[in-house]
Amino acid sequence: MRRRLLAAVVAGFLAAGAACGGTPSKPPPAGERVPSDGSPLRLRIVSYNVNFGLGGDTAGVRAVADLDPDLVLLQESNDAWAAAFTAGLGGELPHHRFTPPPDMPAGGMGVLSRWPILAVDQLAPPEDGLFFAWRVVIDAPGGPFQVLNLHLRPPISKGGSWVVGYFSTGGIREREAAVHAEALDPALPALVTGDFNEERGGPAIDLFERRGFTDVLAAFAPDRRTWEWPVGGITLRMQLDHLMYDAGWLAAGAGVADAGRSDHRPVWADLERAPAP
C-alpha cells in the first residue's frame, strides 16, 4: 500500500531510517544451477513488492531480470505487471502464475519459476488482515520445496490512523504469520518471503524464528533498507521485506538491489539444499 507512514510518525522511524549501508546491491552471477558433481542444488530467489501503481514499468522488470533469478515472488502484482513480467522473463522462467487483486489494489501476487509449479494455494487472511498469502510448491531438481509468499498487514488502524496503527497492528501480523505457517507441509523444505511490513524484531518475524526459520538479510545485509518513502523533506528507510529459510537450506549469499522505481527494493538470496541428516 502506498503512503505507509505519514509525517505524524516520522519521529518514531528516524532512527530506523538513518542507516542505509550494507553489502553491494549487485550480486555475483548465479552460476551453475544444477551441479553435475552431485552437490546440493543452488538457487537464487528474488522477492519484490513491485508497487501496484507502477504496473508494467520496465524498470521494475529489469531490476529483477538483472539479478538472474531462478524463482521470483511478487507482491502488489496486477494484470499489467503479469503481462510485463511474462514478456520480460518468461523465456528464462517459463512457469508462472498470477492472481490479480480481488478487491484492494495492492493485494495481487505473482510467481515466476525456472522449474514447474506444482501448486499455488491461496490463503485467506485472518480477521483484520488485508491481503491473501500464497503457499507455492516448486518441483525443482532434488525434490519439491515450498514457499510462503506474504504481504502482511500495513501499520494502519481500522480508523485509518497510521499513528495508532504503528503501535497496534503488530499482533495482527503475528496472527497472520501463525495462520499462514500452519499451511506449510512439515515434510518439505520451506522458505518464507515477502513484504512483512515490519523490521527484524517484529512479532511476525519472531514467530517464524521460533519455528526454526532464519532471516537471510540478518546475516548478509543487516543494514540494508528495502523500503523508502519521502515525508516532509526527509526520506524514511526501513527493512520491511524479508526472506527466511528453514533447516532444509543453507544460505550462500543475499542482498538488496538498488533498482526499480517501487518504494520497495528487490531482495535476493542464494540458497543451497542442506545435506540430508
CB 192 within 8 A of CB 244: yes
The residue-averaged pLDDT of 64-68 equals 98
Q: Name the one residue in this structure whose C-alpha cell is 552460476.
A: 31
* Whole-number pLDDT of residue 234: 84
Q: Which residue did the predictor score with more confidence, 51 or 159? A: 51
Q: What's 243's domain CATH number?
A: 3.60.10.10
pLDDT class of 128 with cuts at 50, 70, 90: confident
Number of compact structural domains in the chain: 1
CB 218 within 8 A of CB 177: no
C-alpha cell at 207: 514467530
C-alpha cell at 262: 517501487
On whether residue 78 sits in a domain, the answer given is yes
Sorted by sequence, the CB contacts under 8 Å of residue 38 that are 6+ apart come out as none
Alpha carbon 2 to its chain's center = 17
In whole numbers, what is the pLDDT of the chain averaged over residues?
Answer: 86
Whole-model pTM: value is 0.87
pLDDT class of 7 with cuts at 50, 70, 90: very low
On whether residue 259 sits in a domain, the answer given is yes
On whether residue 27 sits in a domain, the answer given is no
On whether residue 20 sits in a domain, the answer given is no
The residue-averaged pLDDT of 115-130 equals 93
On whether residue 12 sits in a domain, the answer given is no
Helix (H) or strand (E) holding 171: helix 170-181
Instruction: Please tell me the number of Cα atoms within 13 Å of 17 on its side-chain side.
Output: 16
The β-bridge relationship of strands 133-140 and 117-123 is antiparallel
On whether residue 26 sits in a domain, the answer given is no
The β-bridge relationship of strands 71-75 and 109-113 is antiparallel
Sorted by sequence, the CB contacts under 8 Å of residue 187 that are 6+ apart come out as none
On whether residue 98 sits in a domain, the answer given is yes
Alpha carbon 52 to its chain's center = 15
* Edge-to-edge order in the sheet of strand 95-99: 95-99, 109-113, 71-75, 42-49, 267-273, 249-256
Dihedral sign computed on CA atoms, order 4, 197, 262, 10: positive
236 has a pLDDT exceeding 90: no
Its domain, for residue 62, covers 40-273
* Whole-number pLDDT of residue 173: 94
Q: Which residue did the predictor score with more confidence, 33 or 49? A: 49
CB 54 within 8 A of CB 261: yes
114 has a pLDDT exceeding 90: yes
Strand, helix or coil for residue 193: strand
CB 51 within 8 A of CB 23: no
Alpha carbon 271 to its chain's center = 15
pLDDT class of 5 with cuts at 50, 70, 90: very low
* Whole-number pLDDT of residue 233: 83
Report the amino acid identity of residue 130.
L
On whether residue 17 sits in a domain, the answer given is no
pLDDT class of 168 with cuts at 50, 70, 90: low
